[in-house]
Structure 1
């Protein structure tokens, strides 16, 4: 590793599994001291992984959509490490709704928006002033390619992630002159706790080869691949990247695919 976050303090929400856990391990390997945050005790396991690898990490259990908890996360970083330079607002939920657009209730929509959109807003609101006062840094929010157009997730999830894309653009403008950058990373289909049932079901049915078949790489993503994109946006390598939505999706969002045409040379023959 090259120490791209050496001397930095970073907070990561949704750090108990998936993209958050992979990012915690990568950020620590790049030199960051971490405050890890999740709604489950699994965040303690992530912190232990970081510590066993020689990194420094503190764990917090809380609700990413609750303002007092997010404020406490930022305070924990400054109280423990004296600064905050990076906030990765990664926590998110799908809402768990099976079926179509009309199957979700207003209560499901409200909860998804609370965690997925209000959560990143709160992360920006509370982290940005502290990052500014520490000389500047980066806020990264996890959106999704589902926020770009229909077809990549449930309606409430897709709408919340579209909101994140616009929110980071708006926040970047509101923070002009502060040296605080705000960007979003947009994963495509990635194997995480959220998507694990789909991956497991495909494997059990002998259809693993169909996972990710609509993107040009013809596969699903790994949490580590999203983590590397988040690391780039968090680091000085992205010092002139601001207010952007970086898709990491195997090329899915480069088109509007519905199926592979017969005879497509990229289509697997077996």
Structure 2
């Protein structure tokens, strides 16, 4: 059976752990050549080695996904090594913890916006010219249910992810007629390195069984489940899907759940 990403060239940021790691592995299993990016060289290399060990093709680079020169560098690397870029999964992001809004500084906001929103913008800007020359491509952005409504993240993080959703919508229209599709994924609470502190705190308090209890599925998500949506949006299976933001959250945003802390 033909694999859904056979021969495609993919860039995945934040590939060292969590959703990015699961997606890089899944993309490779579906036939893509994957450039694995992470701030930590060891984490990126670990994923690339796993892909190669499974018979796939991968490269690893350490890069700050919110740095202009770094984004230009890894995009150029993909094109130089493999002749183009067909898929970009701009997944890298930071949470910044949960300080009260009255204690947040401008520097704090700038850093979250730089990584979470400017980073995806740069990934789009750098990859798009190559995709246009090729006749199209798929760009997938990691947003969050926190970008849909309040209650799932603090103000700076939520605002950055709301921006990512808008970026997917506006970029999809900017590239009308080029064959480029841009979509976003809005994960609910998922067990990743970013959310580790939440899970650790719940375990310490003996409330781990309550994590995800506000969703109809009564559980949290796993990175592999988000990766399946990334694969769908990256592949031709979603050929008529563009400018959308998909919640993958166990049903959390189907209602307005609320619980006292």
What TM-score do you get using the length of structure 1 for normalisation?
A: 0.93
Matched, 1:123 2:142: no
1:159-179, Cα deviation, whole Å (9 max, x unpaired)? 000000001100000000000
What is the match of residue 266 of structure 1? none
What is the match of residue 155 of structure 1? 155
Deviation, structure 1 residue 29 = 0.2
Task: Report the Cα distance in structure 1 between the residues aligned to 2:202 and 2:166, rounded to whole angstroms.
Answer: 34
Deviation, structure 1 residue 199 = 1.2
Task: Report the Cα distance in structure 2 between the residues aligned to 1:259 and 1:90, rounded to whole angstroms.
Answer: 29
Task: Report the Cα distance in structure 2 between the residues aligned to 1:259 and 1:153, rounded to whole angstroms.
Answer: 14
Runs of 5+ consecutive residues of structure 2 not aligned to the other structure: none
Runs of 5+ consecutive residues of structure 1 not aligned to the other structure: 261-270
Deviation, structure 1 residue 137 = 1.4
What is the match of residue 52 of structure 2? 51
1:69/1:199 CA distance change after superposition, 3 Å = same
What is the match of residue 172 of structure 2? 172
What is the match of residue 235 of structure 2? 235
What is the match of residue 110 of structure 2? 110
Matched, 1:69 2:48: no
Q: Please report the RMSD computed on the Cα atoms of aligned residues, expressed in angstroms.
A: 1.3
Count of aligned pairs between the two proteins: 259
Deviation, structure 1 residue 2 = 5.0
Deviates more, 1:36-45 or 1:236-245: 36-45
1:23-58, Cα deviation, whole Å (9 max, x unpaired)? 000000000001111111211111111111111110
What is the match of residue 268 of structure 1? none
